[in-house]
């Protein structure tokens, strides 16, 4: 059920389905005792070994050690730091989680760990979120780091196999905290998780982002290798691991971007090594450096292939500024392995500047969208930059039959019905009786209806999710 809890900020429509009511009355006296036990015990230990921002944050936010906070309290606590909170039902997709954080919204799981898992649970719970993440967000530099992380994390591509791992982790973690679950059910869920993880090949940018997040925001250490301070929420919310991490049993390694994204983790076990950063500036720098290798920044062939492999909603951005949101189905390559045509499957929408174009939503492109990529053959000026005079000079006239030959062997034939421009650039050419072929092989043909051809000499960006999520996911 969608939450109606009052907040001091606007929750975007596409994120609202993930928000639930906290239903505070469901917490039992045992739940409250678990909160008090963990918070008092952790505070007594962490006040001497945690980053100063943690203890200071507890004081600033006013998070009580004696009772589970209400989400309204959390909002009041976080507001001075420019943050807010919403309650969610456990695990949510990574892109959604990061989307919340990019907007300065902390997603808080409503559940609380069982007494038998009081020291540590792999499942998200209110102790981890409210007592682990929230206090240290009072530090300006750290809060900025988490927001920046959210901005790039929400655009990161995972693979189909990694999506399946996420679902397996969610199922396993829920069973771990379900009092009605049998040992056999938990064991089976763990075996399924292991099998899904074994099926993953390669490391996606989403997995690299997850690793960087894990070794910093969740399990980061700060300061000197010999005597580090705790700042990761996973450490700050775990009685057992906060103590264990400072022993010689855990290897302490200097933080480096390359090492963290190359080091996998297991959420079901205590970590055998941790990374120690020198300052939060070092973390900010790592996020800035990482974003330059991501598909949303690089564009091109590799970025398109990441979108295809994800099997999920993605956005492809042309050099004209046109944004195509949908699920990539296939691509056509030249002999030199350059992409000259792509196709989406299912509902697709077209946008510009993150705003859906009128008449080009999912209801128009219900069964997918396809279009070429590239310049006109033998013409140095990109088609998106053509003026009316340029169009006339190349025989491209409204209400007349047009034959376009693009680099890479794509041919587009049809009667030109409409030209869509934004800020002087051509985004779309709409044709009737259109046929598209590649070296004689027909890619699209229709004697009825309109074909909208995207215009752009290259793909400058691709990213996970929608250009206009408010419209696409409504």
Q: Report H helices in 50-131.
A: 52-61, 71-78, 94-102, 126
Angle CA 450–366–12, to nearest 5:
120
How many CA atoms lie within 13 Å of 171's alpha carbon, on the beta-carbon side?
A: 17
Among 161, 179, 69, 46, smallest CA distance to 113 is for: 179
The answer to whether 438 is annotated as binding is no
Buried b (16+ CB within 10 A) or exposed e, 225-241: eeebbbbbbbbbbbbeb
CA distance 252 to 257: 15
By three-state DSSP, how is residue 313 classified? coil
244 is in an annotated binding site: no
Burial class (CB in 10 A: 0-12, 13-18, 19+), 262: exposed
DSSP 162: H
Are the beta carbons of 460 and 467 closer than 8 angstroms? Answer: no
Q: Is 128 annotated as a binding residue?
A: yes
Burial of 448 (0-12, 13-18, 19+ CB in 10 A): exposed
| Tokens coding 144 | 């900025």
| Strand 105-109 to 84-88 pairing | parallel
- Greatest pairwise CA separation for the chain in angstroms: 80
Beta strands in 156-237 (DSSP E): 221-223, 228-230
Nearest residue to 373 (alpha-carbon basis) of 278, 304, 270, 294: 304
Task: In whole angstroms, give the CA distance from residue 417 to residue 398.
Answer: 6
Q: Which residues are annotated as a binding site?
A: 128, 133, 218
Q: Which residues are annotated as a binding site for Fe cation?
A: 128, 133, 218
């Amino acid at each position: 059920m969608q939450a109606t809890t009052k907040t001091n900020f606007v929750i975007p429509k596409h994120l609202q389905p993930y928000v639930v009511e906290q239903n505070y009355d469901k917490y039992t006296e045992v739940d409250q005792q678990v909160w008090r036990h963990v918070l008092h015990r952790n505070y007594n230990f962490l006040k001497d070994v945690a980053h100063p921002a943690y203890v200071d944050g507890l004081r600033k936010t006013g998070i009580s050690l004696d009772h589970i906070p209400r989400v309204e309290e959390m909002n009041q606590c976080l507001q001075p730091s420019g943050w807010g909170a919403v309650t969610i039902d456990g695990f949510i997709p990574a892109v959604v989680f990061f989307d919340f954080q990019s907007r300065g919204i902390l997603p808080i799981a409503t559940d609380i760990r069982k007494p038998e898992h009081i020291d540590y649970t792999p499942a998200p719970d209110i102790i981890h979120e409210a007592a682990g993440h929230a206090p240290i967000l009072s530090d300006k530099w750290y809060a900025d780091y988490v927001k920046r992380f959210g901005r790039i994390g929400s655009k990161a591509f995972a693979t189909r196999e990694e999506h399946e791992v996420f679902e397996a982790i969610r199922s396993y973690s829920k069973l771990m905290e379900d009092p009605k679950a049998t040992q056999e059910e938990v064991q089976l869920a763990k075996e399924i998780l292991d099998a899904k993880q074994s099926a993953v090949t390669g490391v996606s940018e989403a997995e690299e982002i997850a690793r960087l997040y894990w070794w910093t925001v969740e399990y980061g250490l700060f300061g000197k290798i010999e005597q580090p301070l705790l700042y990761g929420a996973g450490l700050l919310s775990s009685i057992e691991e906060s103590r264990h991490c400072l022993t010689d049993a855990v290897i302490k390694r200097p933080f480096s971007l390359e090492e963290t994204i190359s080091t996998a983790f297991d959420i079901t076990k205590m970590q055998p090594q941790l990374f120690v950063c020198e300052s939060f500036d070092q973390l900010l720098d790592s996020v800035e450096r990482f974003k330059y290798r991501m598909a949303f920044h690089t564009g091109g062939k590799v970025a398109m292939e990441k979108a295809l492999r994800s099997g999920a909603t993605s956005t492809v951005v042309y050099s004209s500024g046109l944004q195509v949101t949908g699920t990539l189905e296939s691509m056509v390559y030249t002999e030199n392995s350059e992409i000259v045509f792509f196709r989406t499957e299912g509902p697709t929408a077209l946008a510009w500047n993150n705003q859906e174009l009128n008449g080009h939503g999912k209801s128009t492109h219900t069964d997918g969208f396809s279009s070429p990529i590239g310049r006109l053959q033998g013409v140095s000026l990109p088609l998106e930059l053509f003026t009316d005079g340029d169009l006339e000079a190349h025989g491209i006239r409204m209400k007349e039959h047009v034959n376009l030959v693009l680099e890479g062997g794509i041919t587009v034939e049809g009667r030109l019905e409409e030209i869509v421009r934004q800020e002087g650039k051509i985004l779309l050419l709409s044709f009737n009786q259109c046929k598209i072929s590649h070296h004689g092989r027909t890619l699209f043909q229709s004697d009825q209806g309109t074909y909208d051809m995207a215009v752009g000499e290259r793909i400058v960006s691709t990213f996970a999710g929608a250009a206009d999520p408010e419209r696409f996911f409504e």
